[in-house]
Amino acid sequence: SIGSVITAIVENIIRKATSYFWWSDPLGCVLKLFFVCLHGCIMALTRFAVVSHAFTGEGFFDSSKRVFKVLKRNFVGGYVLSRVGVMVVRTGANALCMAIGLLAWFWIDEDNNWSTLSDVTEVFGGLLGFLGFVLLYLVLIRRPLLTIFLITLLMELISSSSLDEQIFAPIGGVFVSCVAAII
């Protein structure tokens, strides 16, 4: 009966931490913080165990024991390394997707004999407008499915517009970037 009481308490804690309105309950905020930290620690241990397994050729559990001993001494450095590694990979993926989108934009321009990429400051109303577009571009490729959905909704509006040439190539580049981000 003690085991069922402990199970009920744990299930209640998990339900509070994973509810949709966890932010409205102070205990839910603390539990969410705890679970996010626990998730980060488990992910770091798993990543390092897989790397250790790949380098040493030992079994996964033997590698996990070795990694746990190392991270017990150097936990903060290992956790920071894990987070930095994830950020570097995400930044590289975003840069690659953006480069692919700009190449698609260039190709659309060349294929249609347009010059929207070379006259980019005129298309977006100056350098500040272009920088705003680049920031929007990065936000949009971070959410590729939503962006593709919005592009398909806006295509009818864009195709009936007189700005068809100036808008089609950049939107085509964003679309290709989103497809690259999904792949």
Residue 17 to residue 33: CA distance in whole angstroms: 9
Tell me the CB-side half-sphere exposure of residue 131, using CA atoms within 13 A: 3
Residue 149 has a pLDDT of: 93
Higher pLDDT, 167 or 181: 181
Q: Is the pLDDT of residue 52 over 60?
A: yes
Residue 176 has a pLDDT of: 95
State what percent of residues in the chain have pLDDT above 90.
21
Q: Which of 106, 175, 108 is nearest to 141 (CA)?
A: 175
pTM (predicted TM-score):
0.60
pLDDT, average across residues 108-117: 85
Residue 123 has a pLDDT of: 67
pLDDT, tens digit, 9 for 90 and up, residues 137-177: 889 999 999 999 999 888 877 666 655 667 788 888 999 99
pLDDT, tens digit, 9 for 90 and up, residues 13-40: 777 777 777 777 787 788 888 887 777 7
Element (H, E) at 131: helix 127-142
Q: Would you mind telling me the total number of residues written for the chain in this entry? A: 183
Higher pLDDT, 8 or 3: 8
Residue 146 has a pLDDT of: 93
